Copies of this chain bind each other. A is one copy, B any other.
Amino acid sequence: MELFDDPRLTAMGLFAEVYTGLADKTSAVFAEAGLSDVDFETLIRLARSPQQSLRMSDLAAQTSLSTSGITRVVDRLEREGLVTRQACATDRRASYAVITEAGTARLRQVIPRHLEEIEVWFTGLVPPDRLAEFLDTLRLIRDVVRPCATAGVTSRVDAARG
């Protein structure tokens, strides 16, 4: 059946296979450090944000988890001391998740191994010029499929300024 072997279908399937294959490798590294994929993504997004913190809903938007999902992720991470909740001074509905020292320490512990895995299974496999073009193509698609991937990037003082 031709329809079932359409090149677009196989392209999409290939994409999925590669991504899930890579994710399997990296999540094994996270698991060694007692983190899930979601935990890691949450922590690193906090670490890279101004004041090492994000509003819960911005975290949700960035991770494409639901807000209820984020509530629970932060619950878990808070229980482990990797993250703290902080009330928002200007909006009493909102709260910030802030990564703690223990959180950044956990990241520093796990990232070197994570980078090794990425190198072995992804970036190191592809010649540099092709890798650059590959990433350009990814960015091209990203800008279309995920226009709001940068939710909450303005710092908290900027946001307070309005």
Contact = CB atoms under 8 A, between A and B. Distances in A.
Interface string A104-123: 10011001001100110111
Given A9-B114, A126-B137, A140-B125, A145 B4 contact: no
Contacts of A31: none
A19 to B, nearest CB: 4
A111 B11 contact: no
Interface of A: 1, 3-6, 8-9, 11-26, 41, 44, 47-48, 64, 104, 107-108, 111, 114-115, 118-119, 121-123, 125-126, 130-131, 133-135, 137-142, 144-146, 149
A110 to B, nearest CB: 11
A118 B14 contact: no
B141 A121 contact: yes
A26 to B, nearest CB: 7
A95 to B, nearest CB: 23
A115 B8 contact: yes
Dominant SS among interface residues on chain A: helix
Contacts of A111: 3-4, 6, 9
A145 B44 contact: no
B115 A20 contact: no
Given A9-B111, A121-B144, A144-B121, A15 B19 contact: yes
